[in-house]
Amino acid sequence: MSIDKRQPPQRGRAATQGSQRRDVTRRALLAAGALSSLLYVVATDVVAASMWDGYRRTEQMVSELFAVGSPGRDVLLPFTWVYTVLFTAFGVGVWNSVRGNRALRIGGGLLIGYGLWNIMGALFPLTLGDDASIPMHILATNIQLALMVAAMCFVAAGFHSRMRVYSIVSLAASAVMGMVAFMAAPGPNLVLGISGRISIGAFLLWVAVLAVALWKRPGLK
């Protein structure tokens, strides 16, 4: 007598539906990353900057918009928490998309850490006209930058395609322009404003591209 080892139809359908739900959730988490990048640009250079009469996007730092005393801070405070949730969700989406790939898995974990570290940036903001606020803000920012760089490095190492090259180029652009902006501070000047935005923009775009790269690749090896 033979034994039919195939799954019963109902169980098979349930398994398929469960897999589909997990994939929909995974894609929604990845989409949160692209959305976080878009909202960052809109909240800072569109909304908050327009509330500061005389603010010059090409000459001043984005971090000034988040500072205590900035006219746009009331808008950016709730945005910071929204961005933290969206970016952390993105990190979880990356983590769930790369089972079996240790480098990408570590990259996903570091992206989760980067997202959560936004909370520390909110706790230690710059205060306009108060130099005493600078050291702790720089420390919190540098730790977050370290998480960003490490995440991009591990993601680059985990891919064996054009995404690796793109990650390396994006990391180089973000790091170099960030250092240029640091040397041009405190400003205001064209080098500071433009290089700082190139540095941030390179990372924001990389997040969106990574989300697209993983969108149709569940369980990436």
Q: Dump pLDDT digits (tens) for 38-71.
A: 999 999 999 999 999 999 999 999 989 999 999 9
Q: Is the pLDDT assigned to residue 2 strictly greater than 50?
A: no
Secondary-structure percent of the chain, ordered helix, strand, coil, rounded to 5: 75, 0, 20
Look at residue 115 in the predicted model and tell me its pLDDT: 95
CB 6 within 8 A of CB 77: no
Look at residue 100 in the predicted model and tell me its pLDDT: 84
Q: Is the peptide bond before 186 cis (omega within 30 degrees of 0)?
A: yes
CB atoms within 10 A of CB 74: 10
Domain ranges of the chain: 32-215
Mean pLDDT confidence for 75-102 = 93
pLDDT confidence band for 87 (50 / 70 / 90): very high
Cα 82 to Cα 109: distance, rounded to the nearest angstrom = 19
Tokens standing for residue 146: 């370290």
Q: State the pTM of this model.
A: 0.87
Contacts of 211 (CB under 8 A, 6+ apart): 30, 31, 33, 34, 90, 93
Look at residue 9 in the predicted model and tell me its pLDDT: 60
Mean pLDDT confidence for 126-140 = 83
